[in-house]
Structure 1
Amino acid sequence: MTQKELKEFLDEKVILYNNPKFIESDPIQIPHLFSKKEDIEIAAFLAATISWGNRTMIIRNATKMMNLFDNAPFDFVMNHQESDLSSLDGFVHRTFNAIDLQQFVRSLKHIYTYHKGLENVLLVNKKETDYKNAIHHLKDVFFEVNHQQRTQKHISDPLKNSAAKRINMFLRWMVRDDNKGVDFGLWKTHKSANLSCPLDVHSGNVARKLKLLLRKQNDWKALSELDKNLRKLDKNDPVKYDFALFGLGVFEKF
């Protein structure tokens, strides 16, 4: 397949999957329950954090999380007392449990109180073209408060060569603004050109079959290789191809 043919093929798949129908079976439906910017951000961040494994289970457990916050996640984060966190006892999604969720609430309060929120913490430096250092900075800020060691594994670090799939997915949701009704485009201080594809088993396998990716591991080095090739297809909005790669992998078993 020539680059022109590949672009045409993938552009068609983007149109097929990048529409509101996609929301029905995707964890992005959780932040779509809200209209206030900070509610959307926190709901999206938490839903993305537990987005591994069975998608039905992810959506069920993310919904449970929002119910524990009385469906007002920002209000709960900002106004909780330490005693309120016991209401989260018993929550579990795979290896993410109540201890982790309680820590996320504390850390998010810290970020919104002292660091002007997630949008500000994840800003890309003007000299950089991706979120590698911004995600590392998020992890630093996230764990400035007292925390248990176990929770650190739930925030990935690209400087340790993690592909940071869940944070990249969260970033796509917040930054991309194409008026198709799926991604939110809330963060006007950010640029879609800097986004990276959330690299997982499905998107990685499809990318390899299409020769967009040669590296075998799904790590940050692989992500950089994929980024480079997707930017040749659309330098301003490379991560739109996440819809194509994911759709081909999950829905079409490509």
Structure 2
Amino acid sequence: MNKYSRDVLYSLLESKYKAYNTKDFIAFDPVCIPHRFSKKEDIEIMGFIASILAWGQRKTIINKCSELIERMDGAPHQFILHHQDTDLKQLEGFVHRTFNDTDLLYFIFILKEMYTEFSSMEDVFMQGMNKKSENVEGGLIAFRNYFFSFEHPTRTLKHISSPEKKSACKRLNMFLRWMVRQDKKGVDFGIWTKIQPAQLICPCDVHVDRIARQLGLITRTQTDWKTAVELTNNLKKLDPKDPVKYDFALFGMGVIEGMI
């Protein structure tokens, strides 16, 4: 982290974090999907699904998630726990890029198993980590292992990433940011308390990756799990307790062309 001084980086990223971490950000981002709900389980479920479907144009992602909510009668947790086999016909034909109704039906099945066994999705991640863990790596691995611990379509494996596969786990890290961070700014929910904000790993999408490299926060040539950890560890030098808050700054700077 020697391209810019710590003071310069801190001043820049703090100002951009404050500028972009506002409720105005919600409407045009997939995080608006879980914000439609007040029930914790609905927030978790649609936060998770919105993060998994978060590739492509944001408007399309939001529209597809809205469609899915309608197909689940506007009550995802209720639908998942209490649907009949005939209700699953409502999900037939759903598709977003490479995610189709075969994947969706397995998601519905495993989420029902999950909420039958656990009170919160957070507890699945906690099977692989604790409050002393350096970061969420073990939690991400445990989550994927549980997710595919039942008979599953091979094609669905690609939709849940893992550090074991060297993935940067962008979508799951974004989901965890939404659930864990607690700054009361109105964007992130902060409804999970077992995973600590300091344990989060920064979601490393194309915009964040580009800006982080320009700022000298990333030196690795590829974008993988180690890269996401490198970025986060450098952000921890600016805020050790809540490094991933700077995701707002990096993403916001990245989507505005010519910022840097």
In structure 1, the partner of 2:48 is 45
Of the three residues 100, 104, 117, the one matched with 1:101 is 104
Q: Partners of 1:253 and 1:143 in 2: how far apart?
A: 42
Letter in 1 for 2:116: T
Farther-moved stretch of structure 1 (165-174 vs 81-90):
81-90
In structure 2, the partner of 1:157 is 162
Check the 8 A contact 2:232/2:243 in 1, yes or no.
yes
Alignment of 1:81-120 (within 5 A): 81-120=84-123
Alignment of 1:123-142 (within 5 A): 123=126, 124-142=129-147
| 1:195 to 2:200 alignment | yes
Of the three residues 69, 73, 98, the one matched with 2:72 is 69
Q: Partners of 1:127 and 1:14 in 2: how far apart?
A: 27
Deviation at 1:127, TM superposition (A): 3.7
Percent same amino acid at aligned positions? 50
State the Cα deviation string for residues 114-172 of structure 1 (Å, max 9, x = none). 23331101123244111111111111111122211100110001111100000000000
Q: Partners of 2:8 and 2:118 in 1: how far apart?
A: 45
Q: Partners of 1:245 and 1:178 in 2: how far apart?
A: 18
Q: Partners of 1:156 and 1:28 in 2: how far apart?
A: 19
In structure 2, the partner of 1:174 is 179
In structure 2, the partner of 1:239 is 244
The unaligned stretches of length 5 or more in structure 1 are none
Q: Partners of 1:142 and 1:82 in 2: how far apart?
A: 21
Letter in 2 for 1:119: E
Name which structure has the greater RCO, CA cutoff 8 Å, separation 6+: 2
Deviation at 1:215, TM superposition (A): 0.9
| 1:3 to 2:17 alignment | no
In structure 1, the partner of 2:34 is 31
Letter in 1 for 2:124: V
Q: Partners of 1:198 and 1:141 in 2: how far apart?
A: 22
Q: Partners of 1:58 and 1:253 in 2: how far apart?
A: 25
State the Cα deviation string for residues 45-104 of structure 1 (Å, max 9, x = none). 000010011111111101111111111000011112233222101100000001111111
| 1:224 to 2:205 alignment | no
Farther-moved stretch of structure 1 (75-84 vs 214-223):
75-84
Check the 8 A contact 1:110/1:145 in 2, yes or no.
no
Deviation at 1:249, TM superposition (A): 0.4
Letter in 2 for 1:24: A
Letter in 2 for 1:79: H
SS for the counterpart of 2:41 is helix
Instruction: Tell me the TM-score normalized by structure 1.
Output: 0.97
Instruction: Tell me the TM-score normalized by structure 2.
Output: 0.95
SS for the counterpart of 2:202 is coil
Deviation at 1:253, TM superposition (A): 4.3
